[in-house]
């Protein structure tokens, strides 16, 4: 803004100069040239030292000229001053932007997560239903599971209904009297458990039944083994998961390590897929030992290894573009699908439609 004001004043003086270059006869007023020279020196005082020296030399030279030559010096000085002002107004300056200071103390190195003890179902016997050789221990229904058993020679299937609905989950049950863990995958609510006895062919009749209420808390069945995702604290699958996750600093790192291991180690067993029978249940330790399996085996192993490390995992069965299939849902800030079977082959099963969760 100062430059623009200076330019306007210079042009105004240039217009007035011819009329007042010489004072009237007998006047003692100071010559305009002297005023301009003084003003110019003031305006030029902010110039660099080299320009000041040049102006000084020019002033000394003009003072030695005859009076007739000195009388024309104001116009010359004015032109020089206008030229300098105009030249200065067109100058450009390169300016750089500096970032704000951001020095920070070093961050502590991430520490491995504490060791996890795999959760195991317990038959505490505080709440039991028992009849006709069949038993249900629902003492820990709040944890998302029940335990059932049958002692006898009949072929038994267990059906579990939720909140009075007609849909059910179906499980085969041996007659050896050993407890089998079954998940309460529908969460809190009312469950009906029916023991169905084979009477002929594919026909079954109810042997006995009971109803129970469950207020499921936490992650429920997704952290426990069950008939479909079967393992113990001493299983080879649990031991391998512990080894893979020893240095993990988050659940995401645990899942990544387990998923990478399975997809790079387990190969699809095409012969098994062609011969597998109804009622087949995966053995996660056998899959780990043979390094082969069908999608059911992949999904059971993934679920077992994640659960043993405290990561909520579901084994999902449903339909895909590739056919009837099994895969996993793992909880990492939300449920995320993991299909280790097709990932191992570098492929995708296309669209997924879940039907059952275990």
Distance CA 116, CA 119 (A): 9
Give residue-wise pLDDT tens across range 151-196.
Answer: 999 999 999 999 999 999 999 999 999 999 999 999 999 999 999 9
pLDDT score at 9: 58
Q: 104 versus 261: which is more confidently predicted? A: 261
C-alpha–C-alpha distance, residues 264 and 76, integer Å: 89
Q: Which CATH architecture has domain 236-357?
A: Roll (3.10)
> For residues 209-245, b (16+ Cβ closer than 10 Å) or e, as one string?
bbeeebebeebbbbbbbbbbbbbeeebebbebbbebb
pLDDT for residue 23 is more than 80: no
pLDDT in tens, 304-346: 999 999 999 999 999 999 999 999 999 999 999 999 999 999 9
pLDDT at 272 > cutoff 60? yes
- Give the residue range(s) of CATH 2.60.40.10 domains in the chain: 128-221
Asked if residue 21 has pLDDT above 60, the reply is: no
Query: Which residues of the chain form CATH 3.10.620.30?
Result: 236-357
Q: Return the ∠ at Cα 91 (arms to 87 and 94), rounded to 5°.
A: 165
Tell me the mean pLDDT in the region 281-302. Answer: 98
- Please give the DSSP secondary-structure letter assigned to residue 277: P
What would the pLDDT profile of 128-148 be if each residue is shown by its tens digit?
Answer: 999 999 999 999 999 999 999
Q: What is the pLDDT of residue 95?
A: 79
Predicted local distance difference test score (pLDDT) of residue 92: 83
Question: In this predicted structure, what is the pLDDT of residue 58?
Answer: 37
Q: Please name the fold of domain 128-221.
A: Immunoglobulin-like (2.60.40)
pLDDT band at 99 (very low <50, low <70, confident <90, very high): confident
- List pLDDT tens digits, range 66-81: 343 344 455 556 566 5
Written as six digits, the tokens of 243 are 């080894």
Query: Does 52 score more than 50 pLDDT?
Result: no
Global pTM value: 0.72
Q: Please tell me the predicted confidence (pLDDT) of residue 28.
A: 45
Average pLDDT, the chain: 84
């Amino acid at each position: 803004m100062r430059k623009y004001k200076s330019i306007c004043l210079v042009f105004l003086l240039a217009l007035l100069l011819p009329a007042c270059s010489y004072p009237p006869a007998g006047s003692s007023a100071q010559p305009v040239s002297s005023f301009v020279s003084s003003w110019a020196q003031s305006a030029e005082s902010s110039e660099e030292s080299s320009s000041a020296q040049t102006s000084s030399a020019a002033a000394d030279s003009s003072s030695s000229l005859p009076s007739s030559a000195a009388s024309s010096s104001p116009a010359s000085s004015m032109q020089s001053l206008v030229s300098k002002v105009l030249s200065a107004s067109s100058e450009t300056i390169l300016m750089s932007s500096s970032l704000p200071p951001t020095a920070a103390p070093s961050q502590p190195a991430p520490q491995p997560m504490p060791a996890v003890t795999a959760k195991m179902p317990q038959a505490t016997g505080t709440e039991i239903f028992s009849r006709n050789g069949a038993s249900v221990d629902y003492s820990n229904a709040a944890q998302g599971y029940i335990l059932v058993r049958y002692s006898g020679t009949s072929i038994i299937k267990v059906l579990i209904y939720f909140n009075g609905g007609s849909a059910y989950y179906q499980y085969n049950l041996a007659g050896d009297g050993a407890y089998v863990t079954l998940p309460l995958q529908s969460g809190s609510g009312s469950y009906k458990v029916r023991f169905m006895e084979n009477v002929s062919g594919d026909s079954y009749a109810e042997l006995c039944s009971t109803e129970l209420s469950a207020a499921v808390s936490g992650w429920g069945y997704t952290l426990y083994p069950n008939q479909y995702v079967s393992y113990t604290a001493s299983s080879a699958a649990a031991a391998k998961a512990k080894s893979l996750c020893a240095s993990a600093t988050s659940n995401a790192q645990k899942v990544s390590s387990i998923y990478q291991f399975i997809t790079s180690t387990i190969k699809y067993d095409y012969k098994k897929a062609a011969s597998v029978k109804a009622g087949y249940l995966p053995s996660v330790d056998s899959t780990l030992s043979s390094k082969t399996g069908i999608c059911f085996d992949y999904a059971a192993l993934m679920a077992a290894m994640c659960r043993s490390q405290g990561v909520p995992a579901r084994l999902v069965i449903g339909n895909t573009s590739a056919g009837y299939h099994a895969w996993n849902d793992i909880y990492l800030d939300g449920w995320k699908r993991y299909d280790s079977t097709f990932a191992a082959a570098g492929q995708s099963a296309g669209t997924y439609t879940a039907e059952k969760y275990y």
